[in-house]
Amino acid sequence: MRKVGFILYPGYSPMGFAVSTAFEVANLQAGEPVYDVRMLSEHGGLVRTSLGFDVATEPFSGDHYDLLVVGGSMQEASAETVEFIRRAPGHCRRIAATCLAAFVLAEAGLLDGRRATTHWIRARELQARYPKVRVEEDRIFIADGPVWTSAGMTAGIDLALALIEEDLGLEAARNVARKLVLYHRRAGGQSQFSSLLELEPKSDRIQSVLTYAKGHLSNRLSVEELAEVAHLSPRQFSRAFQTETGQTPAKAIEHLRLEAARVLMEDTSHTIDVVAQQTGFADRNRMRRAFLRAFGQPPQVIRRAARGMAAVAEDLAEA
């Protein structure tokens, strides 16, 4: 059984408990306790969360842990907590930080020379305060050897699912995601910035069009097709869409295609032609031009970079 400790300190965000729930569900799915989850703090006893309720914890100890997870807090961690985390690699196999807890790992020196991410809103601050950290602000989560970090808020659940996948396999992680009523586990390389969120339509009518488009990217998705979904004339639809999102339908659809294509390039072995067809670019040349405009690199280079990082992480984990 794998021992997992969640490190709490005053101001701890209750979102961290959603992360711990993934391990609880993994136990339920396995039909036996594969994870022994503990709540830990500097002195043990009750720790007050950012919402004002208290959580019972055990005091820090030198016990061996398969995984320690530091959760984000609205307050700074104490010097004693940082020191415990600094020594953690001596008695735990992996250590992870969700959201702003990356600052605690950085303060402890565990991110020096490593790739890391955090909530996008404070990623540049993390880089400025800790220049030895290789901050990648537009990532859902990153595993660099035994040290894992995630973006803000719900991204911690994606990190937990990735850890479960590493321990128990892909199918187990998928089963946990389904039990949590998640559409899917986002890949670590996926952008923190969802095109759907950035568009921020004001009406359900335009939101339904975007949801339809994301689920039918292999279609041509002409203005006429989208206008029919919105129950508007093409002219009315184009005007309403641009007023609500600030983009033309064509530009918004291209962003959705690019987002989906990048995930497929980084996390599947599909050929470029297959990715282009599945995401509606029709042919590889059109997709290549779109990648160059958006990312400054062709699809092949992005795929090679993602695989290279994965190989480095795997080598470090085995070292």
83 and 175 in a single domain? The answer is: yes
- Interacting residues of 110 by C-beta distance below 8 A, sequence separation 6+: 85, 86, 88, 89, 95, 147
9 and 76 in a single domain? The answer is: yes
- Among 150, 179, 208, give the residue marking a domain's end: 179
119 and 233 in a single domain? The answer is: no
167 and 66 in a single domain? The answer is: yes
Domain total for the chain?
A: 2
Burial of 202 (0-12, 13-18, 19+ CB in 10 A): exposed
28 and 145 in a single domain? The answer is: yes
**Lowest mean pLDDT segment, chosen from 152-166, 175-189, 221-235, 289-303:** 175-189
What average pLDDT score do residues 160-183 get? 89
pLDDT tens per residue across span 290-305? 999 887 889 998 888 7
Q: How far apart are CA 259 and CA 262, in angstroms?
A: 5
pLDDT tens per residue across span 247-296? 999 999 999 999 899 888 887 889 999 999 999 998 999 999 999 988 78
- Among 130, 148, 179, give the residue marking a domain's end: 179
58 and 171 in a single domain? The answer is: yes
User: What CATH number should be reported for the domain holding residue 209?
Assistant: 1.10.10.60
170 and 201 in a single domain? The answer is: no
42 and 124 in a single domain? The answer is: yes
Give the other-Cβ count within 10 Å of 263's Cβ. Answer: 17
**Across the chain, what does the average pLDDT equal?**
89
Q: Is residue 149 part of a domain?
A: yes
**Residue 187: per-residue pLDDT:** 53
List C-alpha distances in Å: 198 to 77, 205, 245. Answer: 32, 17, 8
Nearest to 23 by CA among 12, 9, 7, 38: 38
List C-alpha distances in Å: 29 to 32, 135, 215, 235. Answer: 8, 35, 29, 51
List C-alpha distances in Å: 103 to 67, 108, 190, 286. Answer: 18, 9, 22, 41
User: What CATH number should be reported for the domain holding residue 136?
Assistant: 3.40.50.880
Burial of 131 (0-12, 13-18, 19+ CB in 10 A): exposed
Helices (H), the chain: 15-30, 79-87, 102-107, 123-129, 155-168, 170-179, 195-199, 204-215, 223-230, 234-245, 249-267, 272-278, 284-295, 299-318
Q: Is residue 319 part of a domain?
A: no
Q: Is residue 188 part of a domain?
A: no
10 and 48 in a single domain? The answer is: yes
100 and 212 in a single domain? The answer is: no
Does residue 159 or residue 319 have the better pLDDT? 159
Strands lying side by side in the sheet with 45-48: 45-48, 54-59, 35-41, 2-7, 65-70, 92-97, 147-150, 141-144
Domain that holds residue 291: 195-306
What average pLDDT score do residues 88-101 get? 95
